[in-house]
Structure 1
Amino acid sequence: MSDSTIELCCTLRARPGLEADMRAYEDEVLALIPEHGGALVSRVVGDGADGRPHEIHVYRFTGQAALDSYMTDPRRAARAAERDRVIESTDLFPVQIA
């Protein structure tokens, strides 16, 4: 693994009643990741009960430029209003995939 490789974990919580809409939004934007030198390593779906996340993602990008390219993708940016409508909170943090 390259020293410039970036590995991240993201937890997502949907707005109440919009869990299916959040999954649909995520289906769309996660499909863009490979075009930017990234990979979705894992995507798991939870029930969101007791404050737990509705989804947890683990990503790997080839470097900061690849991550920046994904984050600023115009197709992703065009979906910002939908993201704000369906996602209550996200927490993105670096991890090391074992």
Structure 2
Amino acid sequence: MTNHDEEIRLCCLLWARPGQEAALTAYEDKVLALVPEHGGAVLQRAASDGAAGRPHEVQIYRFAGQAELDGYLADPRRTELTAERDRVVARTELFPVELL
């Protein structure tokens, strides 16, 4: 069993390229489906209209540890979609969070 202190909890903010909002969501549907296979869980996804510089999508997820996160990031099914990601995602901010 994983020690809670080793868990990694992250928030991800995503901005779509103009006109690519639906494509960003579709891309994220694909890659986030891989998270559970790597000891992670998507805890929450939320969408916004992107107005006034706000992100189009906000995600909160956790991984059992750094090795699991690294495995997800290196998953070939995810990395094969890099061109699609570059086409639809304008900006990403990823940072650790503590859940209250």
TM-score, normalised relative to structure 2: 0.96
**Where does the alignment leave 5 or more consecutive residues of structure 1 unmatched?**
none
Of 79, 87, 90, which aligns to 2:89?
A: 87
Name the structure 1 match of 2:25: 23
1:4-25 Cα distance to aligned partner (Å, 9 max, x none): 1000000000000000001000
CA distance in 2, matches of 1:10, 1:95: 10
After superposition, the CA RMSD in angstroms is 0.7
**Where does the alignment leave 5 or more consecutive residues of structure 2 unmatched?**
none
Give matches, 1:27-42, under 5 Å: 27-42=29-44
1:74 Cα deviation after fit = 0.3
SS in 2 for 1:39: strand
1:3 Cα deviation after fit = 1.1
Paired residue total:
98
Work out the percentage of aligned pairs sharing the same amino acid.
60
TM-score, normalised relative to structure 1: 0.98
